[in-house]
Amino acid sequence: MNTDIRHYPGARLITWVFFAWLYLPIAVVIWFSFNENRLVSVWTGFSTQWYDAALSNRALLDALRVSLIVAVIATVVATVVALMAAMVLTRTPGLKFRRLSETVVNLPLLLPEIVVAVAVLILVSQLGVTNGMVKLVLAHSAFCTPFAFLPIRARLQGMSADFEEAAQDLYATPWTAFRRVTLPLIAPGVFAGAMLAFAMSMDDFITSNMLNSGGTTTLPVYIFSLIKQGTTPELNAISTLLIVASLIIATLALSLSARAMRRG
Amino acid sequence: MRGFRFWGLVPAWVLMAVTLIVPVMIVVLVSVSLRGPYGGFDWGFTLEPYREILFSTGWTDELEFDPKYLIIIGRTIALAAATTVICMALALPVAYVIATRGPRTKLVLLYLVTLPFWVSMIVRVYAWLIILGNDGIGGRLWQALGGGGLLFTPGAMLIGMVYSYIPLMILPVYAAIEKLDPALLEAGADLYGSRWTTARRVIVPLTWPGLAAGAILVFVPALGTVLEPMLLGGGKQMMMGTLIQTQFGGGRNWPFGAAIAIVMMVMVVIVLLINARRAIRKEGRA
Amino acid sequence: MARGKAVEVYNVTKRFGDYQALDQVSFTIEENEFFTLLGPSGCGKTTLLRMIAGFETPSEGSISLFGAEIANLPPHKRRVNTVFQSYALFPHMTLAQNIAFGLENLGWDKARRTARVAEMLELVHMTPFAGRRPAQLSGGQRQRIALARALAPEPQVLLLDEPLSALDLKLRQAMRDELRSLQRKTGITFIFVTHDQDEALDMSDRICVLGQGQIQQIGTPTEIYEEPANRFVADFIGETNFMQVQVLSLEGDTADVRTPFGFDIIAGQKGITGPGPATLSVRPEKFVLGDQATENVLSGRIVSRNYMGGYTHYGIETQGAVLRVSRRNSTANAQGFELGREVSIGFPAAAARVLGA
């Protein structure tokens, strides 16, 4: 028997089962995407035919294009807005309404997304916005902002204001100081924030579904409509492609922010 | 630092005001408006949408108490609460095991916890649809154990919700356990506490702030969850999120949907206020 | 050589909300001077430095640099450079890039920049390290690069914010000499902020002692130590013994006072306006012990004895008070005085100072 008091019998077992459970769905989807059988969960043989089908599916590629356009614009908007807000919130001593402003920036995190979706839907109906892209970009920019904001603010808080003062002391204008000193030093945080915002936008279903109109179906909304029609191996192939893409983005973002932490 | 003044906050304020603050106010107004004849709504003032939550109109226009929406609200709270509790119970041992590994293993395990979270929510829920189906591993396992159909039950929704939100619990709990001084465990043992006494009287109380933070992070989105009831609940097991969505989706009854959304928001605000009070009380004690 | 006025601080007051950091401070720093702002933490010295650098704006008053008003100029428009306590070397740039940063902002052309960077690296003996990054340097090396970076743009005034506090003891002593010689070599006015009196006494041409947001005294190191202007300065710089005395009469810079030991002495004074209670300050090393005591002799008993190597510190009880006395151990077996022994002690009147109560 293990006499180390830090050891809890069973805790390790729970942890291993937990990790198995965590990766089971991903493994199942990937596994069955190579199934030649039309039935999703009956394995009959290896095939990549569903990938061919997925990659030649026009509707899928259209949805992907919509998602990418919306995600790229929303990421840029959210990152710029978040960066500006974070600069003011961490670099202005004695700022009035600091708490309130921080709450406002993080507001999308405090509300259930369905409420955000309803609010935006009613707004665009009242304003008479009919362009589906505009609706999506507006909503995505808003709910991506806190995801970009949090890593950027963390990075700024971890960075001494001495560097910016030193730059200005050496005759750099505030803009030059920001461009040549602050921005390079917080770049990992900005990058991590942008990645997170991008992932959140690509992932969004609730808001995009509620704002969905012809021609602006995003990838998750399209996948949802496929699921409604029934599970198919093609769906597994699409999901696998998405899993691979998101794992690459995640690994990039996580390793960059880990490196940023180490550099301090 | 000179040069950066409040104007940097203007874009954030404008964006949030335009997309959230003003719209949420409009939602409040819509929730007391009249139902439009062809969907949507007409401006006005009535408490009809809120009354509808509790009463339905009978054949002869008399009001009858009708619990069907209360059941949905109750189911939502119950499932969100159950999700939170299960996440807590899972997060404690897992976070503890991660926190007591070596520095490299720790990083790898944390990375593995976070990774699935980056995978599209819809893909993750879809995966459970396959697993829990009658032909899936989960479904067959359940049947072998003597259960009936697993998919389209609250249990299936619960599995999906726990899966979706568990990283939001593990990360803060891990952060709290990480900060624990190992000497405290030794002190617990030294003072004749068994492992379990130490766990109950030392570890859990000291990781409570992490558990509370995780509870907020899990409970709030769980209340508004949409995908799990739609896919794993098969649309038969409605939750507040899906109820709201159907009111707007079909353009059917916007004021009623808005009223439900307001009810959900009030619930979230209450939870956040309780949490804020807890935090303030703690500050006062410190 | 006619010296210009490098920095003039006039009636500067700084408030942070309700807290008053500086209250009506005025002084002038001459060109080529090594000027030190000395004081305990919270005295306002760093705030003053930050206002000269431009990181803070005075609530009231004016600051001028070689005759030009700068109080409201942003930092990048002042020909003033700072050596930060943390050094604040840009971690993403090489040492050469760090030094060139200010020159680029000033619009120097490439050839001139390169030459100046090389010259600066040479000056601080860091030429072989030009391509390295700050993370690869030791504390002393970072210190040198911070100096080189601040000196490169030929500032009119160099500000140093406790630059030695992050170094270990041995290195600190070496850097003091290096700083002093750099100042002589470059001829630039240095304003040095420190809470370490040894540093201030060792390096400065003049010292400004700040306390509670006000100037307590400005003077040469000798003046500050030997002729402190008030109790605060006498107490903060070095060690001293305070005794309550009565001023009997006043004559210019000296006062005739009655000591509690029963005799009267005539000693230098500062801040006394007329007869009445005052404080007499005598530094521990000014006392003479045993047979050598001839002036103002009293007797006491040794109640504590601390051997410090070069010195021995004694606590001597006399008439209810314990005086702190230190005595140099000038020979290897210098005869010390044992504990409990009765001993006669004296002090020359010239070594005593009469200060306001």
The pair of structure tokens assigned to C351 is 């070594």
Half-sphere exposure of B35 (CA within 13 A, CB side): 17
- Residues of chain B contacting C53 with CB distance shorter than 8 Å: none
Instruction: State the average pLDDT over residues B114-120.
Output: 87
Cβ <8 Å between A89 and B119:
no
Nearest-CA distance A25 → chain B (Å): 5
C163 touches chain A (CB under 8 A): no
> Which of A185-223 are b and which e, b meaning 16 or more Cβ less than 10 Å from the residue's Cβ?
bbebbbbbbbbbbbbbbbbbbbbbbbbbeeebbbbbbbb
B266 touches chain A (CB under 8 A): no
Residues B132-174 have pLDDT tens digits of: 988 888 888 888 887 777 888 888 999 999 999 999 999 999 9
Cβ <8 Å between C88 and A170:
no
Q: In the structure, what pLDDT confidence band is assigned to residue B1 with cuts at 50, 70 and 90?
A: very low
> Which of B20-49 are b and which e, b meaning 16 or more Cβ less than 10 Å from the residue's Cβ?
beebbebbbebbbbbbeeeebbeeeeeebb
B27 touches chain A (CB under 8 A): yes
Rama region for A232: left / alpha / beta (φ>0; ψ in -120 to 50; rest): beta
CB distance C98 to C121 below 8 Å: no
Chains that touch C (3 or more CB pairs under 8 A): A, B
Cβ <8 Å between C74 and A174:
yes
Percent of chain B with pLDDT over 70: 93
pLDDT at A205: 93
Average pLDDT in chain B: 85
Nearest-CA distance B273 → chain C (Å): 31
Nearest-CA distance A188 → chain B (Å): 17
pLDDT at B286: 44
Residue spans of alpha helices (H) in chain B = 10-16, 22-30, 48-54, 68-99, 103-118, 121-132, 137-144, 154-179, 182-190, 195-198, 204-206, 208-223, 227-231, 240-249, 254-285
Cβ <8 Å between A104 and B126:
no
Q: What is the dihedral of CA B92, B97, B102, B103, to 10 degrees?
A: -30
Across the interface, of A26, A107, A118, the residue whose CB is closest to B16 is A107
C72 touches chain B (CB under 8 A): no
Residues C79-111 have pLDDT tens digits of: 999 999 999 999 999 999 999 999 999 999 999
Nearest-CA distance A170 → chain C (Å): 4
Which of B55-69, B70-84, C32-46, C313-327 comes out lowest in average pLDDT? B55-69
Its sign, for the CA torsion B245, B251, B252, B254, is positive
pLDDT at C334: 60
- Residues of chain C contacting B1 with CB distance shorter than 8 Å: 55
Residue whose token pair is 């933490």: C41
C86 touches chain A (CB under 8 A): yes
Whether the predicted pLDDT of B2 surpasses 60: no
The pair of structure tokens assigned to C29 is 């720093």
Contacts of A202 (CB under 8 A, 6+ apart): A67, A68, A71, A219, A220, A246, B120
Q: Strands, DSSP E only, in A208-249?
A: none
Cβ <8 Å between B3 and C75:
no
Residues B219-270 have pLDDT tens digits of: 999 999 999 998 898 877 889 999 998 888 765 788 999 999 999 999 999 9
C107 touches chain A (CB under 8 A): no
For residue C75, the chain B residue with the least C-alpha distance is B2
Whether the predicted pLDDT of B180 surpasses 90: no
Higher pLDDT, C112 or B237: C112
pLDDT at B101: 86
B152: helix, strand or coil:
coil
Q: Return the number of other C-beta atoms located less than 10 Å from residue C320's C-beta.
A: 6
pLDDT at C1: 44
- Residues of chain C contacting A172 with CB distance shorter than 8 Å: 76, 101, 105
Residue whose token pair is 């009119």: C156
ipTM of the complex: 0.86
The pair of structure tokens assigned to C150 is 């601040």
**Kind and range of the H or E element at C37?**
strand C34-38
- Given a cut of 50, the residues of chain A with pLDDT beneath it are 1, 264
Nearest-CA distance C57 → chain A (Å): 13
Instruction: State the average pLDDT over residues B95-118.
Output: 88
DSSP A180: I
DSSP string, B177-229: HHHS-HHHHHHHHHTT--HHHHIIIIIHHHTHHHHHHHHHHHHHHHHT--HHH
Q: In the structure, what pLDDT confidence band is assigned to residue B192 with cuts at 50, 70 and 90?
A: low
Percent of chain C with pLDDT over 90: 64
Higher pLDDT, C325 or B146: C325
- Residues of chain B contacting A165 with CB distance shorter than 8 Å: 1
Nearest-CA distance C79 → chain A (Å): 8
Percent of chain C with pLDDT over 70: 98
CB distance A197 to A145 below 8 Å: yes
A176 touches chain C (CB under 8 A): yes
C267: helix, strand or coil:
strand
